[in-house]
């Protein structure tokens, strides 16, 4: 009697993931990758081998939507190359306006909003095995999801650093910003959950914990138990080990002297702050609805300088906001030249549908004028950044090595450099320097945005 052949086990479907946008969106991608792994799917970074292409989008400004459009178009072209392939689009672009995305990309098989991030495995299984999945496409409710330390998560950041989302959403409603409309209201994780996650990450060999939120200074304000950012920072600073904690996305309205002192005096919290000011003209700040004026902003920024001369300050400005005059811009340019920020980013205003500012018709700033103002600010920053970098030549700095480039040169960052946005240190070192993470590097050369050196550890 012929032996019955056991049916061949169907190999898991392969998902290739593209992650766009900010670190908060990257954490969502990591949660989806972690969840897919436990839902019978496997991941690949080889599109040719993939069965499903998942594009996790950003959608908060025009240039981000253009980037999402490019990636979705590439994915749809990929889909047409082999029968049975599927394209799934998730993230802020979908959350912001699902029906519009459906109209724009009829070839996309599934659109998933932010609250389905933890259910991505089920949604894909529903898509693959049929059922009503694709039918469910009405506009999405306000986002409320926020992961915690028990959520499966696959880190996608190189080697030694990770992002930790401490809160989600925003209650500020600055008049130019769509984030509250996309990410929903402020909601914080419990301090215990964040500390547990950080401990787990340190146990996995992570050496830098980057705390992210839409406004990290509002952390805990919705928890009502007197939990706040200072308390969280103190508890993280008490953890054992040699590691960095970095504070990103603060808001000037809620930054306290207590937090500033912690940044200046802690052993693990690096003396670095990312504080988007958006502008310095009182009139423009009022127009933007930032909830903080020029005088308060200047006092706060001076108290950062007074707290420690090692405290590195990163900010971003928005130029071309409706009503911004030559005098407002001159005030901003003068402030950049006098305050001498350590790190600086500049965006040009684009009217975002659904925001109060998009309805403004008076005092509109032509795009070329806005672009010129952006260029002028960046040109003013370059010699400041170069001078700061040159002052480090001949000194030895602690560097966290992130990777080795194609020429086997090591690439890392100082405490004053956040991943992906700030300066780099390019240095020669031994093979195990990368594995080890922290290195002492003697700086031999400086350019406006990078340092060069030799490992001395």
Binding site for ligand SF4 (CB under 6 A): 170, 172-174, 177, 179-180, 214-215, 251
Q: How far is the CB of 349 from ligand SF4 (least distance, A)?
A: 12
**Cα torsion for 233, 235, 236, 237, to the nearest 10°?**
80
Joined together, the tokens standing for residue 387 give 């001078």
Joined together, the tokens standing for residue 413 give 């960052």
Q: How far is the CB of 289 from ligand SF4 (least distance, A)?
A: 8
Angle at alpha carbon of residue 216, lines to 211 and 220, rounded to 5°: 110
Q: How far is the CB of 337 from ligand SF4 (least distance, A)?
A: 24
Considering only CA atoms, which of 162, 233, 146 is closest in space to residue 203? 162
Q: How far is the CB of 362 from ligand SF4 (least distance, A)?
A: 22
Nearest residue (CB) to ligand SF4, 134 versus 316: 316
Considering only CA atoms, which of 281, 295, 218 is closest in space to residue 249? 218
CB 341 within 8 A of CB 301: no
Q: How far is the CB of 174 from ligand SF4 (least distance, A)?
A: 3
Joined together, the tokens standing for residue 274 give 């990312």
3 state DSSP class of 147: coil
- Per-residue DSSP letter, 13: P
Which helix (H) or strand (E) segment holds residue 271: the answer is strand 269-274
Nearest residue (CB) to ligand SF4, 251 versus 374: 251
Q: How far is the CB of 170 from ligand SF4 (least distance, A)?
A: 3
List, in order, residues 6 or more apart from 232 with CB less than 8 Å away: 166, 191, 194, 195, 219, 220
CB 52 within 8 A of CB 89: no
Q: How far is CA 81 from the centre of its chain?
A: 33
Nearest residue (CB) to ligand SF4, 12 versus 293: 293
DSSP string computed for 304-329: HHHH-TT-EEEEEEEE--TT--HHHH
Q: How far is the CB of 361 from ligand SF4 (least distance, A)?
A: 22
Nearest residue (CB) to ligand SF4, 169 versus 271: 169
Specify the long-range contacts of residues 122-125, CB closer than 8 Å, at least 24 apart.
122/39, 123/88, 124/13, 124/15, 124/36, 124/39, 124/41, 124/52, 124/88, 125/39, 125/40
Joined together, the tokens standing for residue 420 give 């992906």
Q: How far is the CB of 150 from ligand SF4 (least distance, A)?
A: 27
Nearest residue (CB) to ligand SF4, 24 versus 374: 24
CB 450 within 8 A of CB 424: yes
Nearest residue (CB) to ligand SF4, 170 versus 263: 170
Nearest residue (CB) to ligand SF4, 191 versus 214: 214
- Distance, CA of 423 to CA of 400 (rounded, Å): 12
Nearest residue (CB) to ligand SF4, 112 versus 248: 248
Q: How far is the CB of 284 from ligand SF4 (least distance, A)?
A: 14
Joined together, the tokens standing for residue 10 give 């169907």
Nearest residue (CB) to ligand SF4, 179 versus 333: 179
Q: How far is the CB of 147 from ligand SF4 (least distance, A)?
A: 19
Nearest residue (CB) to ligand SF4, 40 versus 353: 353
Taken in order 213, 205, 454, 245, is the CA torsion positive or negative?
positive
Nearest residue (CB) to ligand SF4, 251 versus 452: 251
Q: Are strands 438-446 and 244-247 parallel, antiparallel or unpaired?
A: unpaired
Q: How far is the CB of 367 from ligand SF4 (least distance, A)?
A: 21
3 state DSSP class of 106: coil
Angle at alpha carbon of residue 143, lines to 141 and 147, rounded to 5°: 145
């Amino acid at each position: 009697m012929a032996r019955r052949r056991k049916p061949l086990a169907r190999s898991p479907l392969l998902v290739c993931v593209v992650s766009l946008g900010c670190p908060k969106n990257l954490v969502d991608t990591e949660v989806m990758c972690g969840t897919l792994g436990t839902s019978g799917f496997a991941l690949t970074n080889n599109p040719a081998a993939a069965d499903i292409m998942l594009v996790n989008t950003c959608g908060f400004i025009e240039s981000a939507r253009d980037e999402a459009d490019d990636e979705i178009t590439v994915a749809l072209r990929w889909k047409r190359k082999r029968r049975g392939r599927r394209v799934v689009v998730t993230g802020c672009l979908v959350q912001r306006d699902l029906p519009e995305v459906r109209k724009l990309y009829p070839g996309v098989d599934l659109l998933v909003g932010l609250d389905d991030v933890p259910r991505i495995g089920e949604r894909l299984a529903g898509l693959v095995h049929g059922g009503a999945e694709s039918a469910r496409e009405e506009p999405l409710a306000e986002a409320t999801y926020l992961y915690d330390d028990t959520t499966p998560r696959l880190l996608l950041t190189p080697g030694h650093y990770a992002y930790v989302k401490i809160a989600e959403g925003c209650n500020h409603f600055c008049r130019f910003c769509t984030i509250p409309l996309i990410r929903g209201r402020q909601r914080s994780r419990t301090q215990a959950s964040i500390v547990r996650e950080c401990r787990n990450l340190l146990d996995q060999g992570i050496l830098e914990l980057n705390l992210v939120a839409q406004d990290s200074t509002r952390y805990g304000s919705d928890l009502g138990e007197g939990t706040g950012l200072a308390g969280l920072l103190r508890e993280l600073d008490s953890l054992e080990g040699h590691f960095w904690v970095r504070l990103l996305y603060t808001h000037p309205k809620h930054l306290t002297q207590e937090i500033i002192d912690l940044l200046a005096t802690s052993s693990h919290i690096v003396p670095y702050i990312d504080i988007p000011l958006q502008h310095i003209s009182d009139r423009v700040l009022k127009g933007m609805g930032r909830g903080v004026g020029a005088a308060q902003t200047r006092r706060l920024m001076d108290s950062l300088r007074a707290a420690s001369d090692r405290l590195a300050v990163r900010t971003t400005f928005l130029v071309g906001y409706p009503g911004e005059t030559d005098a407002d811009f001159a005030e901003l340019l003068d402030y950049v030249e006098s305050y001498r920020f350590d790190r600086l980013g500049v965006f040009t205003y684009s009217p975002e549908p659904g925001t109060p500012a998009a309805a403004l018709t008076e005092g509109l700033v032509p795009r070329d004028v806005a672009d010129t103002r952006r260029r002028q600010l960046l040109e003013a920053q370059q010699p400041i950044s170069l001078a700061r970098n040159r002052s480090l030549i001949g000194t030895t700095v602690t560097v966290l090595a992130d990777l080795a480039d194609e020429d086997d040169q090591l690439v890392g960052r100082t405490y004053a450099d956040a991943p992906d946005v700030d300066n780099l240190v390019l240095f020669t070192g031994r093979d195990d320097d990368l594995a080890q993470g922290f290195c002492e590097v003697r700086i031999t050369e400086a350019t406006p945005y990078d340092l060069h050196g030799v490992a001395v550890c």
